[in-house]
Amino acid sequence: SHYHILEKLGEGWMGVVYKAQDTKLDRLVALKFLPQHVSPSDLDKARFVQEAKAAASLNHPNICTIYGIEEVGAPEGASQTFIVMEFVEGQTLRVTAPVGADQPARPIGADVAGGRSALLLKQAIEIGIQIADGLAAAHEKGIVHRDIKPENIMLQKDGRVRIMDFGLAKLKGASRLTKAGSTVGTISYMSPEQVQGMETDHRTDIFSLGVILYEMFAGQSPFKGMHETAIMYEIMNVDPQPISTIKPEINADLDAIVLECLAKEQDQRYQSAKELVKNLKRFKQASSAQRFSRISTAQHFSPGPSTDRVAEPSKPTWRNYLWPVLTVIALIIGAVATWLLVQQRTAPPSRVTRFVVTLPEGQALHSIQGGPLVALSPDGTKMAFVGGSGANAQLFIRDMDTFEARPVPNTSDLFNASLFFSPDSRWLGLYSKGKIMKLSLDGGSPIAICNSLGGDASWGSGGTIVFRQDWGSPLWIVATDAGSTPKQLTKIKFDEGERAHISPHVLPGGTQALFTIWTGGSFEESLIAVVDLKTGEHRVILKGGSDARYVSPGYIIYARGSTVMAAGFDLNDLKVTGEPDPVTDNVRFAGALGHSLFSVSENGTLVLIKGGVEITPTEVFLSEGAGKTRTLSVKGVQFGDPLFSPDGKRLVVTIYGSTYQVGVFDIQRDVLTPLTFGADNWRHAWHADGSGISFSSNADGRYQIYTVSANGGGTPRKLFDQDGNPFPESWSPDGKYLAYTVTNKETGTDIWLYSANGEPKSKPL
């Protein structure tokens, strides 16, 4: 048909979904077919068509839009029916288990590594409101979803929630497609009536939503059977444990809302999703307007029973003297407490001081591809930044007790100056001329420590610097002595979804460091981990943030998009404690690299650059001489890194998305053809005759060089195996050799040659 398949998005019981380009309307869409392993019986087709009719009648911001249902001939002669629907980019409400845990995927909100919840309470409430709002719209049209579960809830980057897959929807008035007594849906999220194969209505969806709400707020499932039969028994017979007994911070009002959704009897649940929306919104408004606290009521004791008898005189005992003495002591304590209170009230209150730091006249901050432009010394007395641009870039130091910043001599060529202070605030670390350098703030020229391609770095109290060599590389560690040799510190666990290690921050003591694990997509979904500087072993401590730094006496400050967050942190157990709170927002965040442009000192001073999230879109321009330039683009697709084919008619490019892919752009026809799918595939080089393209891919868990046909046919072929993240550079004109680069622990980067026909296959140049 007129759809160009780009990649497979997923496969479930009732369909396989592909991402595609609608070549007629020039838009991205999702196409859903019956899976190949399913025999396309009349029953399956009827259910498939029913889904399209059900969802196509809905027009709501929290429901995936259906564009149409079409049919196309298959190679075997039989026709294939498929649904054309809106392409929704984001992630489902299901996250993977903690790193290293032998557990199945968990819903967002479940306790993840470090005992942290992946969602803030207010975020979970907002998600629940949006799901209920979408269901209310569907129920008003007589449509019951019947398969509400985390996998069918999509979270977009803008915070919108979308309900997907009405594959099990039962349209009011339509024939029953499920025979009596059968169960349809996903066991853990089924209502009691679904489990028993009984008649269902809209209240079934409310029960399933109740399970999701319970998981988001409690961090665990309300039904904990070890197998399907046990889960089904609990759904029908066991009342869930109140959330407030699991998470004491959960308010009883919210507990009541969720438990009403999970009532066994349909008549005891919310009778409409609209009613549920109203109650969730009311709770959200109430919780934002005030903080709930528990108040202990003092107990009052009444005297014993009175008597009409006149008491006989008694001899004085020690008890007769005790009460006057205690009374005097209490009065003294009260007087001292009152005096202290008065002193406290008359003392000046603690204040937060905010001010704008002006740059030297004629200077602007030097832009270095989203890297840190400013650094605050640990003791809070100095601030370093780079001003100017290009060859005029200049390092400045400002003492925080002065009004002026002073230029630092011998630093006018810092073209890639990521800045970081030593723990004693006497040295400044920086990148320059392909090296990590250190500069004494007492004077002198920068001293080279080791070679580095440039990246993030942190100076620890143990006399070491932890840094990132290049994008997609692990973290490295090096001693701070001149001419030291770095060694690899971390290992990227590609098989567990890790894609890059960035933003290290050495913790006090110099034996552990925080860093960010990029898992693809938005950095708001990244992981914050801690690594042992001796063993290189790392574990995740927080999900949903990046660029973390430690602040005494027990906090980590990190970025969640353009918002700087703070969370309690136990330095002994290396665990996050308590719920995170926002510190400030509208902080410049380099969305393509995961850097938040702030720096914090040990005394709590925070310096930052305003600006919000910045993701610069990539554009490719073609210069055709005589001042003629045109933009090469495909609507809805970002691509870059263009390289001409030998004949000059095509470009090989990197297609940017949740993963990097290799594609070929036809200059004459303005058509982009993806050549790779799945893992990260990039760093490309044309074959000398233009027939193929070599590129680097982490499909095997580490980067290796592959080759694929340039016309879009065939499967990529791996050329060889070699350590050091080999990246192709160029093929020789005769097609006999491929020059490629390899990261070397001793020398930094080496050039090697691969022989297409001779031996040895690979040798250093």
What's the token pair of residue 442?
């007492």
What's the token pair of residue 441?
């703030």
Q: Catalytic residue at 255?
A: no
Angstrom CA distances, 168 to 141, 185, 754, stand at: 16, 7, 54
Tell me the CA end-to-end span of the chain in Å, nearest whole number: 50
What is the CA angle 566-571-575, rounded to 5?
Answer: 65
Q: How many CB atoms lie within 10 A of CB 572?
A: 6
Query: Which residue type is seen at 735?
Result: G
Q: In what order do the strands lie in the sheet with 692-697?
A: 681-686, 692-697, 704-709, 717-718
What's the token pair of residue 145?
């979803």
Long-range pairs for 482-486: beta carbons < 8 A, 24 or more residues apart: 482/447, 482/448, 482/449, 483/448, 483/449, 483/450, 484/449, 484/450, 485/450, 485/745, 485/746, 486/450, 486/452, 486/745
Calculate the CA dihedral of residues 674, 679, 682, 685 and round it to 10 degrees.
Answer: -70
Query: Which residue type is seen at 23?
Result: T
Long-range pairs for 232-239: beta carbons < 8 A, 24 or more residues apart: 232/187, 232/190, 232/195, 235/190, 235/191, 235/192, 235/195, 236/192, 236/195, 236/196, 236/264, 239/264
Nearest to 537 by CA among 78, 147, 14, 99: 99
Q: Reduce the DSSP state of residue 139 to 3 states and report it.
A: helix
Which residues fall within 8 angstroms of residue 268, CB to CB, at 6 or more apart? 260
For residue 57, what is the enclosing H or E element? none
Calculate the CA dihedral of residues 489, 494, 497, 499 and round it to 10 degrees.
Answer: 60
Sign of CA dihedral 216, 219, 225, 226: positive
Please identify which of the residues 102, 111, 133, 147 carries the catalytic annotation: 147
Provide the strand spans (E) within 251-360.
Answer: none
Nearest to 170 by CA among 131, 132, 134, 201: 201
Inter-residue contact 395 to 365 (CB < 8 Å)? no
Q: Reduce the DSSP state of residue 285 to 3 states and report it.
A: helix
* Residues tagged active-site: 147
